[in-house]
Amino acid sequence: MSSSIGENLRITVFGQSHSPAVGVVMEGLPAGAPVDVERLAAFLARRAPGRNDWSTPRKEADEPEFLSGVKDGVVCGGPVTAILRNTDVRSGDYAAYFHTPRPGHADYTAAVKYGPARDAAGGGHFSGRLTAPLCVAGGICLQLLEREGIAVRAHIASIAGIPDEGDILTGGVGEIFPTLSVEQGEKMRGAIAAARAEGDSVGGVVECAVLGVPAGLGDPLFGGMESRLAAVLLGIPAVKGVEFGAGFGAAALRGSENNDPFALEKGRVVTLTNHAGGILGGITTGMPVRFRVAFKPTPSIAKTQRTVDLVNMEETTIAVGGRHDPCIVPRAVPCVEAAAALAVYDAWLGRKKEL
């Protein structure tokens, strides 16, 4: 089912941009696991819109209401369900796109898939709004992973071709604008502002590292950590590519360059480099799991674009009004962390069982 994912921890994300609520059901969370609602709120705030000049002015409280599964701050055993009400909804903004699909959006494919019954308002079930419940689920997993000594960190690796500088394993990430280098972050913000001024948008890359992952998580073949992570990450709207470790760069290396030599460090097996991104044969090596995620530029732009009138079947043009981020990458950083946490915690729950 397309709105569900996970093997040991199964989440189902539901809702449309303008339905009464969006939400998530989580099955498989262990009874007794604590959920710190305040820390979760702080995590969700990193994704929430309307807080600065590079995000949509749509405002949502984004305080999850737990309908089931959590009692007195701990998971009680049944499925955990949390919802976020959609309040700042202006569906009128979208009536025009119902029959004139916005380029780069799911408007057209939703029309083909679901026909006249589709909920096109705000992108419906395809909206970036669905990353809010994803972050609720992922935010809980981040807390549970932390208890196991596993931390997830991500930053903007580049926006509009402007790269960040520094190492995610050691550097500090900005709170307001999640780059390692304040200076490079300034340049990126300039690029976003420039695009916005021209009624345009920009894309970027998010890099993520998962630290403290024990060796042995994941499975061979389709259950490999790469498949697990990619399936969640590519479910985030606007993601068009994922690479692990040296990724596409590895394709240009020789084996002697790309192979990570094994060594001992304080009696523990490590690799001296980490081109594998912490994954060999789909299974974690104990080194940090590292990957990069490509986000396309926000498709909603004010510039006039060619499109098609699906009713009269004739070509026309469109200029997308409404409220949109000129760049979603800053808000996507916690989404990537959430996706990573979901995949890693799912694998962690399925870790090797003793005979």
Site for its own copies in 70-129 (CB under 8 A): 71, 74-81, 83, 101, 103-106, 108-110, 112-119, 123-126
The residues in 23-62 that bind its own copies, with binding defined as CB under 8 A, are 23, 25, 27-28, 30-33
Specify whether the CB–CB gap between 253 and 260 falls below 8 A: no
**Min CB(262)–its own copies separation in Å:** 4
> Which one, 49 or 133, has the nearer CB to its own copies?
133
| Cα–Cα nearest to 23, from 132, 125, 168, 151 | 132
Residue among 5, 48, 209, 289 that touches its own copies (CB under 8 A): 5
The residues in 236-265 that bind its own copies, with binding defined as CB under 8 A, are 237, 239-248, 250-264
Residue among 36, 37, 51, 66 that touches its own copies (CB under 8 A): 66
Helix H segments across 95-201?
Answer: 107-114, 131-147, 182-197
The reply to whether 284 sits near its own copies by the rule CB under 8 A is yes
Residue among 40, 48, 89, 130 that touches its own copies (CB under 8 A): 130
Interface mask (CB under 8 A) for its own copies, residues 186-225, using x and -?
A: ---------x----xxxxxx---------xx-xxxxxxx-
| Cα–Cα nearest to 237, from 345, 153, 125 | 125
Burial of 166: CB neighbours in 10 Å, binned 0-12, 13-18, 19+: middle
> Which one, 22 or 210, has the nearer CB to its own copies?
22
Q: Give SS3 for 112.
A: helix
The reply to whether 355 sits near its own copies by the rule CB under 8 A is yes
Please name the residues in contact with 183: beta carbons below 8 A apart, sequence gap of 6 or more. Answer: 165
The reply to whether 334 sits near its own copies by the rule CB under 8 A is no
Cα separations (Å) of 193 from 197, 209, 224, 239?
6, 28, 40, 22
Residue among 59, 61, 65, 321 that touches its own copies (CB under 8 A): 65
Specify whether the CB–CB gap between 81 and 29 falls below 8 A: no
